[in-house]
Amino acid sequence: MPDRDTLTVIIDNREIIVESASFIRTMDTGCDACSVIMPWEIGLDPDIDRITRPYSYSPAKIKIGDEVISEMVLYDVTQRTNSSGTVKELDFFSKTADIIDSTVIAPYEMNNVKLTDRCKQQCNPFGINVFIGDDTLKSISETRKVIYDTGKTREFVIGATFSRTLDLKPITQKFPIKKSKLVTDEKKFPRVKAEPTETIWSHLSKLAAQRGLLLSCTPQGDLLITTANVNGKPVGTIEESLSPLASEFQAKFSGRDRFNTYRAIVKSSNTGRPSGIQAAKDTVVKAPRLLTFNADDNIPGEAKSAAEWRKNKSAADAMSISFPVNGWYAPDGSLWKPNTTVTVISDTIGTGKKGFTFLITRVELKYSSGGNSAVLELKPPTYYKSGEMVEPWLE
């Protein structure tokens, strides 16, 4: 049984020698990545040369222990010789990289379309399937009343005529019998629109944001529609004064990246002219700093959602906690993963003695002869939901 601290790279069913590696997994960028340094003796193994040649687009699997954690494609190859020897640097990405790089597939406009259907329409030509997280289906669905035809009819008198004897003769007509029922189904966008030069990823992630959703990828490289796990049980606690788990405590805060007011200008999809404004407030910022941006009116209430989303995104971008830890495993024994939570007690970061539970948004697992380590990107969970943001350094 493979060691749980071993990283294995298999390219086109061949295991390669790994000198060092870095595997990155995120919850909201739609694509995982792995960079590998492979010692290389030119011409010694023609099969290895073949599957690692530039533009081979070879399929690959990344394993930790005996678990395949990602199926990827070899996209970038760097071949290098220097005083240290000859190596290949191989960069693998999930196949969702294709929709991140490629521009939108026609039709560029669609009416009454579900997010999942629009995702499938854009992703399926690349061999990318679309999945919805188990905890997400409820949040993208709505219950509404629909009218349906029972297949039966009912006869009604709609008028009358007089006969020659002055007798009344009724005029009847059959009408279909319809009934109503409540159905639960995914919400639809009244209208979606993309520019031909816009990337598929940009287009789909904007639609997902309007529903408060994230786009990620599965270990197989398919698109995953999910939500931020803001209420998840922490995988453990790291305390600055006690734990040898973390090798550094650091947080950076950029006040100039936040604004007091975020104004979304709605532009009519028909005329292109402004038709309304919605705003969101960041009460942390005391000065009247203002950011105004354009939103369209494809969705009722979208401008308000866009303003809230921009406010939260700005707060998330304004702070950075890059948290190095020793090893690949959380205190509960699970592999560090994005979209999970961890509690940190650190005066340096500003959590105070009570500690604060952060959302892990990105994980980088590092593998080398010097030992295994990881780097966690941490954000306050409320950055990924509507309403007031809760930040420990403000208490």
Identify the band that residue 300 occupies on the pLDDT scale cut at 50, 70 and 90: very low
Residues 337-356 as b/e (b if ≥16 CB within 10 A, e otherwise) read: bbbbbbbbbbeebbbeeebb
Query: Which ranges of 189-301 would DSSP assign to H, the alpha helix?
Result: 200-210
Q: For residues 214 and 227, give the distance between their C-alpha atoms in angstroms, rounded to a whole number.
A: 5
More confidently predicted of 138 and 351: 351
For 136-145, 249-258, 311-320, which range has the lowest pLDDT when averaged over its residues?
136-145
Q: For residues 367 and 258, give the distance between their C-alpha atoms in angstroms, rounded to a whole number.
A: 36
For 70-84, 233-247, 262-276, which range has the lowest pLDDT when averaged over its residues?
262-276
- Answer yes or no: are the C-beta atoms of 261 and 278 closer than 8 Å: no
Q: pLDDT for 145-194, tens place per residue?
A: 777 787 888 887 777 776 666 677 777 788 888 887 777 678 888 889 99
Q: What is the pTM of this model?
A: 0.83
Joined tokens for residue 280: 């969101």
pLDDT at residue 298 tops 60: no
pLDDT of residue 261: 95
Q: For residues 39 and 16, give the distance between their C-alpha atoms in angstroms, rounded to a whole number.
A: 9
For 141-155, 323-337, 338-352, which range has the lowest pLDDT when averaged over its residues?
141-155
Conformation bin of residue 98: beta by default, left when phi > 0, alpha when psi is -120 to 50: alpha
Q: For residues 10 and 36, give the distance between their C-alpha atoms in angstroms, rounded to a whole number.
A: 11
Q: pLDDT for 22-45, tens place per residue?
A: 999 999 999 999 999 999 999 999
* Mean pLDDT (whole number) for 1-5: 76
DSSP 3-state of 293: strand
Joined tokens for residue 173: 């007509």
More confidently predicted of 203 and 249: 203
